Structures are given as C-alpha cells and as structure tokens.
Amino acid sequence: MLAAAAAQGSAFPEWQPHLEIWVLIAGILGLGLYAARVIQPTVVAQGGAPISAAQKRWFVAGLALMWLASDWPIHDIAEERLYSVHMFQHLLYTTAIPPMFLLATPSWLGRLILGEGGVKRWFTRWARPVPAAITFNVVVAITHWGWMVNSSVRSGPVHYGVHIIVIGAALLAWTPVCGPFPEMRISPPGQMVHIFLLSIIPTIPAAFLVNAEGTLYSAYDRDPRLWGLSVTEDQQLAGAMMKVVNGFLLWGIILVIFIRWSRDEDRGQPEFRGRLVPSQPDGDTFPDPVSEPAPAPETGRTPGTVKVPSETT
C-alpha cells in the first residue's frame, strides 16, 4: 500500500514532524523510567513486588504501538485522506493500547497515581463493569456522529480532546478485565460477558457505514483520493474494519480468557490453607487472613505452648 501510494505522488501525505506526539511519547517513557529506577527501589525495600519482565514488555509494546498510531504516516492519512485509516487508529486506541498499559502497571504504581482523594473515588465508581461499559459505548457512539468527526478533523483542540476521551473511556472499560487493581477485576465469566457488551454498540455505526452510499463525513470528501478509494468505498471499508477487525480482536480476547479459565477449572482450585494466595499478574501476593498461621512470639516458642517452670530444690 505504501509503494502504491508513493507511485501516486501528491496523494500520499508528505512527512512532517509532530512535536506534540514526540513530547508525549518521551514524557510517558520518562515517567516509566522514573517509576522503575526511583520509585520501585523504595517500594521493594518496603516489601512490595518489583516490576516484572512481562510488565516491562507490555509497556514497551504499548508505547511503540501508541507512537505508531499517533505519528506519521497513520496520523496524517487518518486526518487528511481516509476515514478507514482514522477508524483503524481509533481501534488501536480502544482495543489494544489501553489494555497494554494497564497490564504494564504494577498495583503499587496504580495506587500511587490515583492517590487517596477524589480521583480515586471517581475512578473506583466509574471503572466498575456497568458504568464503564455504558461510558465506553456512549463515547463510541458520539465519536462516530458526523458533526463530531468533521470537527475533530478540522480542529486541532477537538481532535486531541476526542483522542483523550476515547483512550480514557477505554481505560475505564478494560480495568475490570486487566486493570492493576485485583479487587476491581471481575471473574473470567464476567470478563467474557463484559467484553461481549463492549462489542455490541460499535456494530450499529458499522452497519451504517457499510450500507452508506452518500457522503457521511464531508471532511473526507476531498481530493486527491488515496489508493483509488472513493468516499463511499472508504466509508464501507471503515465500517467493515469496525465490525470485522474490532470483532476479531474482542472475540479473540474472549477466547483466550475462556481457554485459561477452562484450564484453571480442570486443574481445580488451589488449597489456600497455610499458603499464600497465588500471585497476581503484577507479582503482588496477599496472605490468607484466615488460615495464615500467626507469627511466633519473640521467645521462639510455638503459639499455644505454655512454659512450665522447673522444679526447685
């Protein structure tokens, strides 16, 4: 596709620097390094879990994908040429990048970010499955409204504001599935139902796009046309992408959750008595408050024993 576009000359947007994106990516990278090199040693010294290798990989993958989705050429094609590429960009912002960053965040870092004030109370309320699913689907519906799409293409502040809202709603929606807070995650069956609900509303604008014959978004009705796609074909491709690609990703995640849940069910529930509850994905462990044995007194005697005084002569 890139080779074909290069042959078309002016149809393909020329490279241009996006300093705001570079600053954003550098800032996220800097915060990640600060958390790993400055905050983590203190947390580990106090008995917390270090950042795992898997979390580091998720962070690098999420940051790289965010850079790819936000910089040239995807950004320029999405805003200047094709709505289908705009759709692909938003799919990355909703179904790939947010869960990657959530999986990369240790519990202690997530709690540090939220703090103990109003932000934490707001997040705890809105990141529950029902409010999060409703918020996500409402945002998806609004961001496909014609006026909103045209305004986001023609106005820089609206454009970046829409991206912030989309990513924020996606973070809320994915927290019950793979968030850094174990107490906020729902059971595997609940996760599958939750993800299924996330896939329902997007099928409505997808159906409109696939069956549309006229121009739904005037901002994309301009020349030169890229890759020979007409406005109608571009809209239909965007609708198919929203339905097929988004559905493939979400149902693929549901399948992975189901396979892991079935495997864990076949193995049986672990015995918690006298042991630690199995480690969470970020490495945190939580002692069982009921069956964990009490620590022995400083005298070294085992709990429940009584020292009998020796006989005297």
- Give the start-to-end residue ranges of the domains of the chain: 16-265
The whole-model pTM stands at 0.81
* Predicted local distance difference test score (pLDDT) of residue 83: 95
In angstroms, rounded to a whole number, what is the distance separating the alpha carbons of residues 92 and 84?
13
* Predicted local distance difference test score (pLDDT) of residue 122: 95
* Predicted local distance difference test score (pLDDT) of residue 213: 77
* Predicted local distance difference test score (pLDDT) of residue 202: 82
Q: What is the largest CA-CA distance in the chain?
A: 111
Tokens of 57: 């990989």
CB 170 within 8 A of CB 94: yes
Angle, helices 188-198/129-142, rounded to nearest 10 degrees: 20
Flag residues of the chain having pLDDT under 70. 1-10, 269-313
* Predicted local distance difference test score (pLDDT) of residue 176: 97
